[in-house]
Amino acid sequence: MKEMRKDNTISAMLTKEDIKHLPRSVQNYIAYTRTLGKTKLSNAKIEQIGYINVDGKWRKLAAKQEFDFLRKSFSWKARIGLVRVTDLFVEEKGLLKVKLLGLIKVAEISGEEIDQGEALRLLSEMIWFPSAFVSDYIHWQEIDENTAKASIKYGGKNASATFYFEPNGKVRLIKAKRYMEHKGKFSLEDWEVGNFEYREFNGTVIPYKGEISWKLKQGRTCYCKIELTEVLENIK
């Protein structure tokens, strides 16, 4: 396994020099997405639609999400019927809040397991913003020519995910060990993001559709299907 390190090159535009420390598969992804030569991102906003599986029933969702890559944070706010869900990763801490009608608190979950899950979420969602892969809080290791492992630092800890790429540069699958909550208890399970479809936003080609699943002993269970409808970059 080859360990990849980065230098301290800083520039406004993403250059080949900036990504030379990355595994070849990640460099290929950045090239495929047409990110080279574009301004590096410090923040972004997106809008999403999709479906989420709640107690065995698929529910429509609509969400808005804000990213701050310099502060290593995001805020995701979704409407699922009468329920409002807020998913946060701020100051390297995670928080999940669920309210009925946006007023009545149904659940609020935090702790080390949530921190780890939200850190993994930030890391995996950087496929939408490939220039963020050069952030100094991400450490890359090359597994083989089409596979790389990324670790993100948060709160003195690390969360890791493995990225699988096609020979043409597209990312096809992300796998990690993530804490799953069930009836107030957490267990470390196999977590996957995949089944991507691609389209162009702002001159960059990214996965705009995907599925999020748990891979449990009884099999793979998809619990969320998401689609990006708008992407805004460097808006502050």
Q: pLDDT at residue 14 above 90?
A: yes
Question: What secondary structure letter does DSSP report for 13?
Answer: B
Q: Give the burial class of 126: count Cβ atoms within 10 A of its Cβ; 0-12 exposed, 13-18 middle, 19 or more buried.
A: buried
**Which whole number is the average pLDDT over 224-231?**
97
Q: pLDDT at residue 234 above 70?
A: yes
Q: pLDDT at residue 7 above 50?
A: no
For the chain, give the percent of residues with pLDDT over 70: 92
Instruction: Return d(Cα 183, Cα 186) in angstroms, integer.
Output: 8
> What token pair was written down for 66?
């804000």
Res. 6 pLDDT band, cuts 50 70 90: very low
**Domain of 57, in residue numbers:** 2-233
Res. 108 pLDDT band, cuts 50 70 90: confident
Q: pLDDT at residue 106 above 80?
A: no
Instruction: Return d(Cα 29, Cα 11) in angstroms, integer.
Output: 20
Tell me the average pLDDT of the chain: 91
For the chain, give the percent of residues with pLDDT over 90: 83
**Which whole number is the average pLDDT over 140-150?**
97
Q: pLDDT at residue 10 above 50?
A: no
CATH of the domain at 52: 2.50.20
Instruction: Return d(Cα 29, Cα 16) in angstroms, integer.
Output: 13
Q: What is the tally of structural domains in the chain?
A: 1
* Interval 158-187: pLDDT, tens: 999 999 999 999 999 999 999 998 877 899
Predicted confidence at residue 185, as pLDDT, reads: 87
N-terminal to C-terminal alpha carbon distance within the chain: 39
Question: What secondary structure letter does DSSP report for 123?
Answer: H
Range with top average pLDDT, 66-75, 103-112, 179-188? 66-75
Query: pTM for the whole thing?
Result: 0.91
**Which whole number is the average pLDDT over 120-149?**
96
